[in-house]
Structure 1
């Protein structure tokens, strides 16, 4: 299964959503789960992972991941520099013992990263998404995100993860 994650921060809480799909081109979710946590760390410039990693781990602990088959897709970066500085996805990969691939799909460019990201133009948008990966070939990750369902810049299931984490309970 391919699991797509996103987190929304409200006043005093964070809500994380995960959407599971059976295939890269799936137009329907096979799995939907949300989780809310109230014990949040303050945002720390340059260390966003410290705030969001606990949100991801909280929901992952409620899932039954298959480390031999599953792939995680996050909203953000896996790597932040060509020297290998880790982003949120890299920290998640390490937290899971390096046993499950993580693909990052970011909406904004990160200027210190050149070679370890691939821009992806979808639909008619002139603005790319930026794909990074760890535990998975970057070119293959780019191809898989390209294959995801949807006519627009943001693939349908990534948009669903974003919408789901923003819904009021």
Structure 2
């Protein structure tokens, strides 16, 4: 089972969402989960993961058994020297038992080593990074995800769930 996760913040509350699916090419989710977390750490530049990890861990716990792979909105690695981003911190928090793929929409300062993936008609690439899975396999998986647009359909869905724009379903 794969999961795509995202977190949004509103009025001091974090809303974390998880969309579970069977494989890279899945068109629909197998299950969806949303949790709200009132104890939100303040944003600290350079320590974004401290704010994001607790809600992500809570929604993954609500989803049940650990998935084999989690997709996060952001980076696994922040530079080619291996400075950890949100995805690397999540991988560590899960005991290194789950592959994590980061899909970022905007470039981070400096060279991250992320693979550039073009989808749909977009000339602007998604930036894919990974731990626990080869980078080329992660990039190919993101490229093959369902949807005709730059952002894969299930990644757009988890974003909308986290924003409270949709109700979770199965």
Structures share a fold, TM > 0.5? yes
Cα offsets for 1:74-119 (capped at 9, x unmatched): 11101101110000000000011111100000000113234x3101
Q: How many residue pairs get matched?
A: 166
Aligned to 2:15: 15
Other structure's SS at 2:89 match: helix
Aligned to 1:149: 146
Aligned to 2:91: 93
Instruction: Let me know the Cα RMSD of the aligned residues.
Output: 1.3
Supply the distance in 2 between the matched residues of 1:62 and 1:30 (Cα, whole angstroms). Answer: 14
TM-score norm. by structure 2 comes to 0.93
Other structure's SS at 1:62 match: helix
TM-score norm. by structure 1 comes to 0.94
Aligned to 1:46: 46
How far off its partner does 1:61 sit? Answer: 2.0
Aligned to 2:160: 163
How do residues 14-163 of structure 1 correspond to structure 2 at under 5 angstroms? 14-66=14-66, 70-114=68-112, 116-163=113-160
Other structure's SS at 1:60 match: helix
Any stretches of 5+ residues in structure 2 without a counterpart?
Answer: none
Worse-superposed segment, 159-168 or 132-141: 159-168
Supply the distance in 2 between the matched residues of 1:113 and 1:36 (Cα, whole angstroms). Answer: 34
- CA separation of 1:162/1:81 partners in 2, compared to 1, >3 Å: closer, same or farther? same
How far off its partner does 1:66 sit? Answer: 4.1
How far off its partner does 1:122 sit? Answer: 0.6
Any stretches of 5+ residues in structure 1 without a counterpart?
Answer: none
How far off its partner does 1:47 sit? Answer: 1.1
Other structure's SS at 2:158 match: helix
Supply the distance in 1 between the matched residues of 2:33 and 2:63 (Cα, whole angstroms). Answer: 9
How far off its partner does 1:63 sit? Answer: 2.6
